[in-house]
A and B are shown apart, each in its own frame.
Chain A
Amino acid sequence: MTQATYNGVLNLAAGAFLLAAVLIVWRRELRSIVVLLAWQGLALAAIPLTEGIYHNDAALIIVGVVVLLLRAVVLPLLLVRAVGTEAHERRESTPLVNTTTSLLITAALTVLAYAVTRPIIALDPSPATRAVPAAFAVILIAVFVMVSRRRALSQAVGFMMLDNGIAATAFLITAGVPLIVELGASLDVMFAVLVLGLLTGHMRRTFGGTDLDLLRELRG
C-alpha cells in the first residue's frame, strides 16, 4: 500500500464515519438508524485494518476484524432485536429539536471538534492524527443525539455512537490502546448494550412503550 492510498483510504473511512453520524441525526426510522450504525461500525473497522496493512502489523489487523464483527454485526443485531413490532414503536417520536435545527447543530459541533482537537494535531501532525476531528465530531454529535431523542433505543444508539467515536480517536492517534484494554473495553461496551437492550424490553412490558418521557416518577 502506498502512502497516497493509505492517506486516501484513511480519509475516506473518517469521512464515511462522520457521514453516518450526520445521517443518524437526520433519520427518524429506528431500524434504518441501526443500519446506519452498522455502516458506521464498518467505517470504524476500516481504520485499524488500513493502518494494520500499511504498517504490516498483524495484531492491529486482528483487532480490526474483532471491531468489524462486534460493531458492524453483533451490536447492531442486538439493537435491532430491541426495536418494537408495533408501528408507533418503530419510529422516533416528535423530536425535541426539529431536523433542520438538528443538522445545523451537527455542523456547529463539527466545527467545535476542529477547535478542541488542535492540541492533539499540534503534538503529532501525522495523516492519521489529522483525521481525528472527524472522530471528535462523532463524539459530540452522539452526546447531542442522547439528549435530544426520546426513545430508549435512540439513546442506546447514541451511546454506541459515542463509543465508536472514542474507539476511532484511539485508532487514529495511537493505533489503538494496549490489547488488554481494548478487549476489556469492548467487552464492557457489549455488556452495556446488552443491558440497555434488555432494559428496553422490560420497559416496553412495564410501561407499554419506550418513550423516555414515561420515566418521570423519580424527582428531587
Chain B
Amino acid sequence: MSFLLLVPILAPLAAAALAAVLGWRPLTSSVTVLAALLVLITGAILGFNVRSGVRFGTWNLFRADALSITMLIVIGTVGTLATWASIGYIDAELAHGHTDARGANLYGALVPVFLAAMASAVLANNIGVMWVAIEATTVATAFLVGHRRTRAALEATWKYVVICSVGIALAFLGTVLLYFASLHAGASSGDALNIDVLLAHASRLDPAVTRLAAGLLLLGYGAKAGLVPFHTWLADAHSQAPAPVSALMSGVLLSVAFYALLRVKSVVDLAVGTGFMRTGLIILGLLTLLIAASLLVVQTDFKRMLAYSSMENMGLVAVAAAAGTKLAIAALLLHVLAHGIAKTLVFLGSGQLQAAHDSTRISDVTGVLARSRMVGVTFLVGLAILLGLPPFAMFASELSISRALAAAHLGWVLGAALLLVVIAFAALVRNGSRMLLGPPEPGSPAIAVPRSVAAALVTGVILSLVLGLTVGPLLELFQTAATLLGGNR
C-alpha cells in the first residue's frame, strides 16, 4: 500500500517532464489531466483503507493519514477539473495571440509541477519538507501568474513572489525554532521534525520557544493562505493568473497552506494549551473576514471579487479551526472541498468572460445567462455554492461551523463572523446579479466556451450537486481527520 504514496507526486512530475520535452500539444495536456486524476484516485483508494485511522509511510519521508488524504482528494478533484479546462483555455489563448508557443510550453510544464509540489506538501512526514514543498509552489506558480506578460501581470508576479517568499520565510524560522524545542525535548536530530515525533514530544516542548515558533508559523503560513497581514498579494495574483491557475490557487493552494497550519496547531495545542493558537486564529480570521467583506463591497473587477471571496472563506476556515472541535474540523474540511469546486466553476467561467470582453470589469459584462447558457448557469451554480445556499455543501458546512462556534462558547466570534459573511453575501449577490441577470447590452460579444472547458464545468456542477445531497463515505474520512487533530470534544 505504501508505495501508493509516491503516485500523487511522481505522476504529475512525469507529466511535467513529458510536457517539458514535447511542448504543449494534445498528448501532453491530456497526460497532465490523467496525472491529476491519478492524484484523486490514489486519494480515494487510500481513503477507503484509512477508516480505522491507519497511517501509511514510505521511507519515513512520506506519510498519509485521514487529513492528508482529504487534502489529496481536494487537490485531485480541483486539479483534474482545472487541467482539463486548461486544454481549451490555452488553445484559445494561442488562437487569440494572448500567448505564444513558448508561453504555452511553460504553462504545460509548470502546472503539473505545481500539482506535485502541493501533493508533496500534504504527504510530507517532516514539517521541514512540508515547508520546502509549500515554498516550491510559490516558485512554480510565479511564471504562471505572469503568464500574460502584461504590465499588470508582471506587477502581480513581483508582489506575489516577494510577499509570499517573505511570509513563508517566517514560517521557516518558526520551523527552525520548533526543531530546536523538539531537540531539547529529547527527540533525535534525524526525525525531530516528523509529525509523529513532534506530537509524541509535544508535552515536553519548551512553552516560551514554542509560542515564538507558533506565532511565526501562523503569520508565515497565514501569508500563503491569504490571511492578514500578508494578504495583499492574493487579489493581484488571482486576478492576473490564467483562469485554470486561479482556480487551482484559490481552490487548493490556499487550503494546502492552511493544512500546514492545522498540522502545526495540533502540536502547539498539546505543548502550550489550545488558547494560544485559538486567539491567534480568531484575530487573523476575523480581520481577514473584515478586509475581504469591505473590499467585496467596493469591488468593480469580477476576478478580484472572486479573489476576495476566497479570502472571506479562508477567514471563515480560520475561525472554524479556532473552535477546533470535531464538528468544526470536519465542517472545515467539507467547506474546503466544496469551496474548491465552486471556485473552479466561477474562475473558469470568468476566464471565458474575460476572453470574450477582453476586460474584467463587472460593468462591462451584462446578461450572461441570456447570452451563454453554459457559462451563465455554471457561474450561477458556483455563486450559489459560495453564498452557502442549499442544496449545496457549503450550506451544511457553514451551518456546522456556526453550531461548533456556539458550542465552543465563542458566541461573539460567531456573531462578528456572521455579520461579515452577510455583508459579503450581499456584495456577491449584487455584483453577480448585475453580471448574470437582465437583458444583455446590444452589441455584447459572443461568449465562446471551448469543449474541454465546458466538460470541466458540467462535471464540476454534477460533483457539487452530489456533494450537496450526500457527503457519503467522505464523512467518515473527515471525522477521522478531525479526531486526529485533537478535535475529540
Residues of A within 8 A of B (CB): 116, 119-120, 122-124, 139, 143, 146, 152, 155, 159, 162-163, 166, 169-170, 173-174, 177-178, 180-181, 184-185, 187-188, 191-192, 195-196, 199, 202-203, 206-207, 212, 215-218, 220
Contacts and interface: CB of A to CB of B under 8 A. Distances in A.
B158 A152 contact: yes
A159 B161 CA distance: 10
Nearest to B208: A119
Contacts, number: 136
The DSSP consensus for interface residues of chain A is: helix
A199 B162 CA distance: 11
A220 B298 contact: yes
Interface string B118-151: 0000000010110110011011001100100101
Contacts of A163: 169
A132 to B, nearest CB: 10
B143 A173 contact: no
A34 B131 CA distance: 27
Contacts of B208: 119, 122-123
B91 interface: no
B179 A177 contact: yes
Nearest to B61: A180
B155 A218 contact: yes
14 contacts: A119-B208, A120-B212, A122-B208, A123-B206, A124-B184, A178-B126, A178-B192, A180-B129, A185-B132, A192-B138, A196-B162, A218-B155, A220-B295, A220-B299
A191 to B, nearest CB: 4
A124 B211 CA distance: 16
A188 to B, nearest CB: 4
Contact of B184 (A123, A177, A199): A123
A207 B154 CA distance: 10
B260 to A, nearest CB: 14
B161 A199 contact: yes
Contacts of A220: 235, 295, 298-301, 304
Given A174-B183, A192-B139, A218 B152 contact: yes
Contacts of B408: none
B155 A217 contact: yes
Nearest to A184: B132
B176 A173 contact: yes
* Across the A-B interface, the 10 shortest Cβ-Cβ residue pairs: A181-B128, A184-B132, A119-B208, A215-B155, A188-B135, A191-B139, A170-B176, A218-B236, A173-B180, A195-B142
Nearest to B233: A218
B159 interface: yes
Nearest to A190: B139
B172 interface: yes
B136 to A, nearest CB: 6
B362 to A, nearest CB: 12
Contacts of B155: 215-218
B154 A202 contact: yes
A203 B161 contact: no
